[in-house]
Structure 1
Amino acid sequence: MIRTGFARRLLALVRKEARQILRDRSNLAVGLLLPVVLILLFGYGLSFDVENAPIAVVLEDSSPPARDLLAGMQDSRYFAPQWVTSMPEAEQQMRLGKVNAIVRVPQDFSRQLAAGEGRVQLFLNGVDSNTASVVEGYVNGVIGTWAQHQADRDGNKAASGSVQIEQRMWFNEASTSTWYLVPGLIALVMTLIGAFLTSLLIAREWERGTLESLFVTPVRPLELVLAKLAPYLVVGAIDLMFCLLAAKFLFQVPMRGSLWLIMLASMLYLTVSLLLGLYISGKTRNQFEASQMALLVSFMPAMMLSGFVFDLRNVPVIIQVISQLLPATHFMGLIKTLFMAGDNWQMALRDCSILCLYIVVLTAAVNRTLKKTLD
Structure 2
Amino acid sequence: MTRQSLFRMRMAGLLRKELRQILRDPSSIALAVVLPLVMLFLFGYGVSLDAEHVPLAMVLQDRAAPARELAARFEGSRYFDVRHAASLSEARRWLDQRKVEGIVCLQSDFAAHIQRQQAASVQVIVNGVDANRARLIQAYARGVLQQWGALRHARGEAAAVPAVTVVQRVWFNEGAVSRNFLVPGLIALIMTLIGTLLTALVVAREWERGTMEAILVTPLRRIDLLLGKLLPYFFLGMAGMGLSVALAVTLFQVPLRGSLSVLFVLSALFMLAALGLGLMISAAVRVQFVAAQISIVTGFLPAVFLSGLLFDLESTPLPIQIVSHVVPARYFVTIIHTLFMAGNVWSVLLPNALALLVMAVLFIALAYRNITKRLEAP
CA distance in 1, matches of 2:273, 2:334: 16
The Cα shift of 1:345 comes to 0.9
Contact preservation (8 Å) 2:191, 2:241: yes
What is the root-mean-square deviation in Å for CA atoms of aligned residues?
3.1
TM-score (norm 2): 0.58
Write out aligned runs for 1:250-329 (5 A).
Answer: 250-329=251-330
1:161-213, CA deviations, whole angstroms, 9 ceiling, x for partnerless residues? Answer: 23221111111112111001011000001001111111110001111222122
One-letter amino acid matched to 1:249: T
CA separation of 1:346/1:136 partners in 2, compared to 1, >3 Å: closer, same or farther? Answer: farther
Unaligned runs of 5+ in 1: 1-47, 49-115, 117-129, 145-156
Contact preservation (8 Å) 2:274, 2:360: no
1:249 aligns with 2:250: yes
CA distance in 1, matches of 2:194, 2:183: 16
1:225-281, CA deviations, whole angstroms, 9 ceiling, x for partnerless residues? Answer: 111111111111211111111111101111111111111111111111111111111
SS of the residue 2:170 aligns to: strand
1:173 aligns with 2:174: yes
Write out aligned runs for 1:134-283 (5 A).
Answer: 161-283=162-284
CA distance in 1, matches of 2:365, 2:234: 18
1:332 aligns with 2:333: yes
The Cα shift of 1:134 comes to 6.5
The Cα shift of 1:371 comes to 2.0
SS of the residue 1:200 aligns to: helix
One-letter amino acid matched to 1:338: L
CA separation of 1:135/1:316 partners in 2, compared to 1, >3 Å: closer, same or farther? Answer: farther
CA distance in 2, matches of 1:134, 1:234: 44
**Matching residue of 2:359:** 358
Unaligned runs of 5+ in 2: 1-48, 50-116, 118-130, 146-157
1:24-82, CA deviations, whole angstroms, 9 ceiling, x for partnerless residues? Answer: xxxxxxxxxxxxxxxxxxxxxxxx9xxxxxxxxxxxxxxxxxxxxxxxxxxxxxxxxxx
Contact preservation (8 Å) 2:284, 2:371: no
CA distance in 2, matches of 1:260, 1:136: 40
CA distance in 2, matches of 1:207, 1:282: 12
CA distance in 2, matches of 1:208, 1:342: 47
The Cα shift of 1:214 comes to 2.0
The Cα shift of 1:374 comes to 2.1
**Matching residue of 1:121:** none
The Cα shift of 1:217 comes to 2.4
One-letter amino acid matched to 2:305: M
CA distance in 2, matches of 1:249, 1:291: 33
CA distance in 2, matches of 1:135, 1:332: 24
SS of the residue 1:169 aligns to: coil
The Cα shift of 1:136 comes to 12
CA distance in 2, matches of 1:167, 1:284: 54
Contact preservation (8 Å) 2:198, 2:278: yes
**Matching residue of 1:371:** 372
One-letter amino acid matched to 2:260: L
One-letter amino acid matched to 2:254: V
1:87-109, CA deviations, whole angstroms, 9 ceiling, x for partnerless residues? Answer: xxxxxxxxxxxxxxxxxxxxxxx
The aligned length equals 236
Percent same amino acid among aligned pairs? Answer: 43
Contact preservation (8 Å) 2:273, 2:359: yes
CA separation of 1:252/1:185 partners in 2, compared to 1, >3 Å: closer, same or farther? Answer: same
1:144-168, CA deviations, whole angstroms, 9 ceiling, x for partnerless residues? Answer: 9xxxxxxxxxxxx965523221111
The Cα shift of 1:216 comes to 2.5
SS of the residue 1:163 aligns to: coil
The Cα shift of 1:372 comes to 2.1
Write out aligned runs for 1:43-122 (5 A).
Answer: none
CA distance in 1, matches of 2:162, 2:363: 59
One-letter amino acid matched to 1:276: L
1:302-322, CA deviations, whole angstroms, 9 ceiling, x for partnerless residues? Answer: 011110101111100000000
SS of the residue 1:164 aligns to: coil
The Cα shift of 1:373 comes to 2.0
CA distance in 2, matches of 1:135, 1:331: 28
One-letter amino acid matched to 2:198: L
CA separation of 1:265/1:137 partners in 2, compared to 1, >3 Å: closer, same or farther? Answer: farther
CA distance in 1, matches of 2:137, 2:347: 28
CA separation of 1:315/1:292 partners in 2, compared to 1, >3 Å: closer, same or farther? Answer: same
SS of the residue 1:206 aligns to: helix
CA distance in 2, matches of 1:134, 1:268: 38
CA distance in 1, matches of 2:244, 2:204: 29
CA separation of 1:314/1:137 partners in 2, compared to 1, >3 Å: closer, same or farther? Answer: farther
1:1-29, CA deviations, whole angstroms, 9 ceiling, x for partnerless residues? Answer: xxxxxxxxxxxxxxxxxxxxxxxxxxxxx
One-letter amino acid matched to 1:209: G
